[in-house]
Structure 1
């Protein structure tokens, strides 16, 4: 009963992430088209609406949903509190929605005495994250570094990689805690651990938590999905670089000095190494699953994103490329990778509703990747029409993904 409850609420958390993905792309399209009141400016505390919808809303909710299922199993435990996902979801979903509205400039009367929408949203978000972290910390308390991996005898040859992957999960959770505190501090006026600068919080959550979880879980999941083994040397490079890089980026993001440059090199090494490791798996596998292509596209955009980041670190920030950097990392690396892995967990081919199937799934990823590619090229070339066409395409791809995933969830509920 408890595993069924966790699975049900994990699906609901992923479903909420899918809704946020569509909302995110709609906001980007509206901003690109110059819709009144929907600009690319940031809110009172430095958060951009698109970043809140994309990172807090889409990426982190999908990561939360799958972490409740995967982390306990990978640490050879069962989730301590089966109702934790049900408690967390309304808190983090509501918090992300309020933070996005506040960042977009919504200022309803009557909430100022509670700190405004951003203050209420940040408190809700922090409360939900506390449930998530507290539950998983209690779950793995007797195996905090993941030495016990739950790896069966059939995969005994993978135990070394599995232990290394588990070992960085506590670091990812630390980044989530610190990034959440920084979000709360920025929104409520509490003292910040770093300077009061929103990109620090988003780097801690995106590069520190989400990307590091992707590396750790990816090195456990993807070799099993593709029935192949990644080069161990790359695993040994990617995991420590991915664990340390985000901290140096957060510390040095304003001064752009040696710490920042070192962090950029480490993060580029982690993302580039992960992309290369996945490319090796992709070439070695005899299997052909539609989700594999989403992860491959995500890895490619990750390389683009960190390449632009290195340019910023060593040559200075180019305002015309800032959005391209953000979109490549958030929608490209994290987003497309998540979409590809989601299709592995929720195969579209089993759908029994209109146009469900691998072709639609492949089309959704192709349109997402193609649209994002147009955006990045258009931003680099200063071609507004190309950027607009790309943004329109990403809306279509996001809607197709949401349709397939939500359709599968509804189908399972009704079966």
Structure 2
């Protein structure tokens, strides 16, 4: 059963990696933002999150996954759902494509949530952490992190329901169907909060550094409340402002915690660079978000804000953690190694910097050059990760 879980979890991660390449190609081609959001958030970020969560969350709650074949059922629903949601905004695409995509996506999330909820049903707060006695000093941080995982599940449920309600008339919306609300619920409440929670367990162990027990409490509560207020308050107003402030506190706090871990570690792994650069982009993203909440909104900067969050903060963090789980140095194929991994992350980061500069000071062809660099970086990343997967399948 563990082999089945591992194989299909990797398949979900592989699909997410492929969606990253499709996302950057779509951005370079100038496809609608709703298409690129579907590819980036629903396809890449959450696709990889789902793949790893099936194995990580049960172990962090000291349980075994209740249904090891859940990822195999989830995979076609996630792929079909993402494809439908990405195609729906394009011209001449029938509305039914979006409806089917939203339905498939929601069904996949239902499989994910039902499986994990049943897995942790007798340990819902995560007080049993699976942390061994040799790491007993880490248990306060681990328990705090586990406590917020059910909040992530709630955000995934509501965000997926809002996605469905926007496309299927039979599903009444919890909010009003405004698409950015679902995006913020899933990106900030689902992906970012899970990054905070799982990151506080995972990253100190990767870097072999202790984290003070108070740190999660400075990040996780505002990170849990902020996305709900952002989604409810969009696009302006006092609720939106409070949500923006809380989310900024969470992101800046997480960034400070990771920088502290990174500086204190004597380990040198290429994957550590992804979250390091990612949290830097996250701080820039929330700074832009605060400017929207308390000042005028520039559409060009809104586009930069979305790219900084999805590709910079969440995307590069996911890329770095992926390289930690699937080290490029184990590859026995041309180009495999830390050098190409660094280049991949550097190209993505450099492309984002060019896009940000172009948003602030419009210069012809600079945004295109930035997106082209990000696409090349995404292709290099996919080559390394998928190459390791193919190699494992052959071995």
TM-score, length-normalised on structure 1? Answer: 0.94
Q: In the TM superposition, what whole-angstrom CA distance separates every residue of 1:298-317 from its partner, at most 9, and x where no partner exists?
A: 01000000000000001132
Give the distance between the partners of 1:215 and 1:146, measured in 2 at CA. Answer: 15
The residue that corresponds to 1:93 in the other structure is 79
The residue that corresponds to 1:184 in the other structure is 164
Of 286, 298, 301 in structure 1, the residue corresponding to residue 266 of structure 2 is 286
Q: In the TM superposition, what whole-angstrom CA distance separates every residue of 1:271-318 from its partner, at most 9, and x where no partner exists?
A: 110000000000000000000011101010000000000000011322
8 A contact 2:274–2:316 mirrored in 1: yes
Give the distance between the partners of 2:245 and 2:251, measured in 1 at CA. Answer: 10
Map 1:170-249 onto structure 2 (within 5 A).
170-189=150-169, 190-249=171-230
Q: In the TM superposition, what whole-angstrom CA distance separates every residue of 1:38-89 from its partner, at most 9, and x where no partner exists?
A: 3x4x5xxxxx100000000000000000000000000000000010000011
- SS state at 1:274 partner: helix
8 A contact 1:324–1:380 mirrored in 2: no
Structure 1 position 403 matched with structure 2 position 383: yes
TM-score, length-normalised on structure 2? Answer: 0.98
8 A contact 1:364–1:401 mirrored in 2: yes
- Cα displacement (A) at 1:327: 0.3
Map 1:13-92 onto structure 2 (within 5 A).
13-31=12-30, 38=31, 40=32, 48-92=34-78
Moved over 6 A (4+): none
Of 210, 233, 256 in structure 2, the residue corresponding to residue 252 of structure 1 is 233
- SS state at 1:79 partner: coil
Give the distance between the partners of 2:250 and 2:118, measured in 1 at CA. Answer: 29
Q: What are the ranges of 5 or more consecutive residues in structure 1 without an aligned counterpart?
A: 32-37, 43-47, 109-114
8 A contact 1:297–1:336 mirrored in 2: yes
- Cα displacement (A) at 1:396: 0.3
Q: What are the ranges of 5 or more consecutive residues in structure 2 without an aligned counterpart?
A: none
8 A contact 1:97–1:121 mirrored in 2: yes
- Cα displacement (A) at 1:3: 1.1
Question: Quick one: structure 1 residues 153 and 106, their matched pair in 2 at CA, closer, same or farther if it must change by over 3 Å?
Answer: farther
Give the distance between the partners of 1:402 and 1:88, measured in 2 at CA. Answer: 21
Give the distance between the partners of 2:133 and 2:307, measured in 1 at CA. Answer: 41
Q: In the TM superposition, what whole-angstrom CA distance separates every residue of 1:89-121 from its partner, at most 9, and x where no partner exists?
A: 10011011011011223525xxxxxx6101011
- SS state at 1:159 partner: helix
Cα RMSD over matched residues? 1.0
Give the distance between the partners of 1:106 and 1:204, measured in 2 at CA. Answer: 29
The residue that corresponds to 1:372 in the other structure is 352
Give the distance between the partners of 2:277 and 2:354, measured in 1 at CA. Answer: 14
Give the distance between the partners of 1:402 and 1:382, measured in 2 at CA. Answer: 31
Give the distance between the partners of 1:386 and 1:152, measured in 2 at CA. Answer: 51
